[in-house]
Structure 1
Amino acid sequence: MSKFVAALPMYDWPEMRGEVDAQWVPLRDAFRQRGIDAPERMARSNRDLPPVPGGIRDGARKLIAPDPATLPPDEFDFHQLWLSPALLFGQTCWGPMELGLARHVQVVAQPSYDAIEGGQGELYSSALVMFSDGGPSVASPADGKAAIPLDLIRGKRFVFNNPDSMSGVLGLTRDLEALGEGLDIFGSRSESGGHRSSIVAVADGKADIAAIDCQSWALAQRFEPAARGVKVVGWTARRKGLPFITARTTPMDVVASMREAIAGLGLEGSVAEQPFVERVG
């Protein structure tokens, strides 16, 4: 059994499990061909994370996370995954990275969003969704610049997935600031816990507007019935998408071999600061 952990949790919706598993197989095999002890299956709960007696510590031996064995086994704490010293291959968001995670991990590759509206290469954006009045949705701007309908959203109830999410709140905040506004443009703000939950909240009338990253929006249009009750009224600016990461302690030769494996798969894009394709269907 591998001592390492791999997970692609950011778009691992229940309906996507088979597709996400299928994405892992060629990666796993390519890693193994280069002598990397890649795990057979991806982690999907706290019980799948190796225990760390005494808790997870950084390079200075400072405690940064509890022992995964002490967490609810059926839940999945993404921060715990990202900080695990056993993390071989995972995915995170640039929000947590900017807020301190980058000190504890290494970026292996950037995904490509070319196949998704709102994306271009390693860049992605968020769709601003509101309750549908039957009118058409706003298309993603070809130039990738923000398209924020200030008069439409002023005073509305804003719902976001998590406070450290680049796609759900931080990117929108920066776009608003560039327009001389801020989050106080909204009448209220609330946290939903996930992009899918934000879409449902808007469709159910519990909130008026949400920022949904373009890949999650694409998934919602496939799998979430509530998506039919909302429409896109604007877009945030494109910015760097969700990076694939490994633990800070992963040896550089292993990181280099993973990058070679990704490049050798024959998919569009490249590694490190260049895109790697994650197909959505």
Structure 2
Amino acid sequence: MRLFAFVGLGSFAMSMLERIAEITDQIIAVDDDQSRIEHIKEMVSTAYTMNLLDEEAFERVFHDPVDVAVVDIEENSAALLLVTYRLKKLGVPEIIVKSNSEEYEELLRMAGASRVVNSDKEAASRVTPLVLSSSLTNFMPISGDLVLAEVIAPNFVVGKTVIEGDLRREHHINVVAVKYASEMNAEKESTGVFHDLDATYRFNAGDVLLVTGKESDVFEFSSIQKSAERAKKQVNYNALLKNIFTHKK
């Protein structure tokens, strides 16, 4: 059984702990706030109120090998670095750190973090596309520039099969599954589930397609396009950066 450690019980860590506690109680939780420890002590195997910067206390608590550590110390970036370093020193293989500062991300990785979570940034990356396009109903970055998205079937695919639409070659996206428009209620909310894609199925207006692809290709497929002026500025900016780095060589 894997052993999980939570150092600092900010909102991110608390949410993760509550989900993990539904599966296992092999959890160590520490925080300097007694009220937070009281809130979760029945969910975990071990809970301590302690000074998170006390190295001796830290080593006493984490004497057993920990598989995954989650660090969420609110409003104390120096403590984040120190705690991350100490967990790495203890040999914790996976350390997930919540940080609100992009400036600290590289330092946290150098200190030993295997993943740095910026919840505000990640939330924005999921919500912004939904604001930009009324065709997108859900959007999730997966890895690098690869995304998974739910897209209301564009007009140019209605009446066509996935093969006739040639979506992979023409639009560089893959359709994974489909929610049928016939399973939508009057409020346009789905009352059904996604169905495996049938290559002979002809898309109907209002179908929701579950697609994967590069962010830029999914954006284009769902009718999100940069304005000509914005695209021109981006090209000029990229050219400027290229010249700067060329001169530096």
Q: Relative to total residues, which structure has the larger helix share, 1 or 2?
A: 2
Structure with greater contact order relative to length (CA < 8 Å, sep ≥ 6):
1
Structure of larger gyration radius: 2
Q: TM-score, normalising length from structure 1?
A: 0.23
Q: TM-score, normalising length from structure 2?
A: 0.25
